Amino acid sequence: MTAYYNEIDPYAAQWLRNLISAGHIAPGDVDERSIVDVQPDDISGYTQCHFFAGIGGWSYGLRLAGWPDDRRVWTGSCPCQPLSSAGKQKGHLDERHLWPAFQHLIAKCRPPVVFGEQVAGSLGLRWMSAVRSDLEGDRYACGVACLPGFFAGAPQQRERIYWVASSDSPGCDRVKKQDEQPTAWSKVPRRNDTDGRSSSFWSAAVQMEGADGTRRLLSPGIKLLADGLSEGMGRMRGYGNAIIPQVAAEVIGAYMEIAA
């Protein structure tokens, strides 16, 4: 069985195809249609379904956590623009509020597990409350955790709401019981050093002070300047919309431990 990736941005969609070809994420098909045009029958034969797939962060995070490619799972990080403090904060009135379309597919297809992520903040928390209510109405148990990037050693805060929904099953009551205990989701050890860098992936980053006086951890050789329109705008957009797979892997691993 193959994976299904739904991503409307052509640049990110081609990025996904490149990652699949290189073997970095689960093999599968990339669909560039809007999620509102996807019907349940279109995805009935897939083991994994990744909506708003971006550059494959959830698929990569699943592999980091030890989740097999042939184990059923859905993921989806709904667009954050309607909720972000950097936008107009229209919430559910924004045309990019696509949770209803995602929920429709979840309710019709009944995947056993769904992982998701959303921007933190007051609007994000209200969004999550509504999403949780919808999922519980569809007979899913939900777990929610608000985690920063440095939870997994990333040199940035990037606080996000991570959630998991598990369909009614023999292990469902355990997920519900754990979620009633706030400490249950915080027992995963944080692997960051005192300076905000991990001992592996981000260890090569160095601190640089920009013209605005802010100190940032950057890869060696990166300068804080730009000359004209950068050829890397597509990459920057992809990174900006992406999740941190290492944080997602911690959430996935915690769920696997609870549900085992």
Domain count, the chain: 1
What CATH number did the domain enclosing 87 receive?
3.40.50.150
Residue 225 binned pLDDT confidence (cut-offs 50, 70, 90): low
- 3-class state of residue 29 by DSSP: strand
Give residue-wise pLDDT tens across range 124-176: 888 899 999 999 999 999 999 998 776 666 666 678 899 999 995 554 555 45
Looking at mean pLDDT, say which of 168-177, 186-195, 249-258 comes out highest.
Answer: 249-258
Q: Tell me: pLDDT of 51 over 70.
A: yes
pTM of the model: 0.77
- 3-class state of residue 12 by DSSP: helix
The whole-angstrom distance between residue 133's C-alpha and the CA centroid of its chain comes to 20
Q: Which domain holds residue 24?
A: 3-259
Q: HSE (CB half, 13 Å, CA atoms) of 116?
A: 29
Residue 260, pLDDT score? 82
Burial class (CB in 10 A: 0-12, 13-18, 19+), 34: exposed
Contacts of 121 (CB under 8 A, 6+ apart): 83, 84, 85
Contacts of 156 (CB under 8 A, 6+ apart): 149, 150, 217
Residue 197 binned pLDDT confidence (cut-offs 50, 70, 90): very low
